[in-house]
Structure 1
């Protein structure tokens, strides 16, 4: 069984192909400035390198945020289209959940964004708080800042959220800047 993981929540494009829940290949473009133009060619190349057809994918896992408004929408849209066309399930996972896959005990995890951090508290690998956004100066000293993901644990994570191609949605924490500008102009 093949599983595809897609993450375009921030500046990197990351694709992972699993065969029977073991990593077959990790494909990555770091600091990608044209995600919408690069993710599909990378996906095609990765499938070709591993002699996999799209029809062999049986499950899609997608990082649904928080992060870049456009980046999240790109990965969610690709996952939805593939799930619809292939009639396969989509599972969503937040980037903070990805960050806490190796967590033991109670910890607050934070992931960097342009002007601050997204954070949430976990007990072991289960999120026990809502995700919030804080400016850098508000970050507490005892929070774990993560930029390393244990990709091997993703397909077997107990808290993946099963959804379908119509209900896989981006996870937005901050208000979109354009909406703030519109409110302030009123």
Structure 2
């Protein structure tokens, strides 16, 4: 089973190719302008390096946003063009969800008690406006027990996708600080506004290392392979005709029409 994952939602273009749960190759390229000039070349290089062909790919995992309006469209347009008429399964991933799970998987590796940790996923929309969602790690029983019968930590969305100014999110975290004792932040917005975030929230939050702040398409694959997500709504199967961007807000051109 060959799995291809792609995102061009932010300035960081991410590609990865897996065979079952084995990583064959991955690429992450930070672009100053648009991904459109290089993304096909990157995909071609990834296939050449791994010795695989396009028609061997069975599952395509693609970010549908939110993020750059142009960037979101590029990944979706590319996979539609490359895989049109081919027998593949398409799965759409909201990148805020993926960031939440990336934080969760990183914390899960630790032996610390991560119960009731809150995770803020933030994607930069420029000028301190961000797309964000909030998740909580909960200790659950029943279906969330592992094969040894032990309780398994799981992630639950507690605040759905929104567009907001960074200052409003900072105020929200400070106001809830007496209730939320463990708060982690993740996403390129943290990287881009780190100085301000640490200045205002240094005593209230924790952030990941720079290398783990931005999305990694390996997270998409990890979510796809996660047995506990089989019936969840975070890795949505779709088809080539219904694969559409999720911008969370109208583009400047749409706003100008009014």
Is residue 2:132 matched to residue 1:119? yes
Residue 160 of structure 2 corresponds to which residue in structure 1?
A: 130
Deviation at 1:171, TM superposition (A): 0.6
Stretch moving more, 89-98 or 58-67: 89-98
CA-atom RMSD in angstroms: 2.0
**TM-score (norm: length of structure 1):** 0.88
Instruction: Name the structure 1 match of 2:144.
Output: none
Distance (Å, rounded) in 1 between the aligned partners of 2:10 and 2:122: 14
- Give the unaligned 5+ runs of structure 2: 105-113, 138-154, 174-182, 188-212, 224-228
Determine if contact 2:15/2:26 at 8 Å carries over to the other structure: yes
Q: Within 5 A, what are the aligned runs for 1:50-89? A: 50-89=50-89
Larger CA Rg, structure 1 vs 2? 2
Count how many residue pairs are aligned between Structure 1 and Structure 2.
183
What TM-score do the two structures reach when normalised by structure 2?
A: 0.65
Give the conservation status (yes or no) of the 8 Å contact 1:117–1:133. Answer: yes
Contact 2:100 2:186 in 1 (8 A): no
Q: Which residue of 1 aligns with 2:120?
A: 108
Residue 244 of structure 2 aligns with which residue?
169
32-41 vs 123-132, greater mean Cα deviation? 123-132
Instruction: Give 1:142-161 correspondences, 5 Å limit.
Output: 144-146=185-187, 147-149=213-215, 151-157=217-223, 158=229, 159-161=234-236
